[in-house]
Amino acid sequence: MGKLNCRQAEVEEITHFNPAYQLHYEAERKRVTELAQDAAYLLFMSRADVDQLRSGDPGAYSASWDEGGQPPFRFFNAYVGKQVVGVADLMTQDKGAWAGWPIVEPIYVIPDCWKHGVGRKLWARCAEVARRDGAPGLHVCSLNQNEIARKFYEHTLGLTKVSDESLTIGQHVFPATRYEVPNLGDAIGPGEGLSGASSLVGRHPIVR
């Protein structure tokens, strides 16, 4: 296979109407998730912590923020040709002060495509859909030690810090930050288009 042309990535919303497709999507998304997590999280987390985070076991980890418990859930894949190179989920927080606000949780790009604009395209699509749904703004949370993600949110996207958060895995507490786009009208990059967003009843993905 030739070299991936990551700059050509296109974002599509995925739907889960066919169980066979759903399995395929989940396998693809799991692959992207694992590649991205390993490349980013192992820089500051142990292998055991990463494995626990992605295990899906009840109580494996707890986040101080609401990762989004209520439908509608919206799932986006970034494709280069037929290959999935990035994923992002748009969730709706349902607890506390931010109930009703959308949150991007998670957003992952395969390391081979980092710094080629795939993350920006995924974010722009989430922001576009949230804005069209009439959301007041958009949140995302990041571990403070995740320097790559922080740079992406703070410098590339220019997001505003909202609150201190944390993620607990076993005995380890990782400080985190909640970011927001306060005005979604400003959140959409040029040329990202307005196509392809449709309503979807889904469920929380098995892959974190």
Ligand X SMILES: CC(C)(COP(=O)(O)OP(=O)(O)OC[C@H]1O[C@@H](n2cnc3c(N)ncnc32)[C@H](O)[C@@H]1OP(=O)(O)O)[C@@H](O)C(=O)NCCC(=O)NCCS
Among 108, 184, 187, 188, binds ligand X (CB under 6 A): 108
Nearest approach, Cβ of 154 to ligand X (angstroms)? Answer: 8
Using CB under 6 A, pick the residue from 68, 117, 137, 205 that binds ligand X.
117
List the end-to-end C-alpha distance of the chain, in Å, as a whole number: 28
Q: What's the min distance (Å) between Cβ of 163 and ligand X?
A: 15
Minimum CB separation of residue 156 from ligand X in Å reads 4
Asked whether position 205 contacts ligand X by CB under 6 A, the answer is no
Of the two residues 106 and 137, which places its CB atom closer to ligand X in the complex? Answer: 106
Q: Does residue 75 belong to the site contacting ligand X (CB under 6 A)?
A: no
Pick from 52, 77, 93, 146 the residue near ligand X by CB under 6 A.
Answer: 146
Query: Binding to ligand X (CB under 6 A): which residues in 30-69?
Result: 36, 40
Chain residues in the site for ligand X (CB under 6 A): 36, 40, 106-109, 113-120, 142, 146, 148-149, 151-152, 155-156
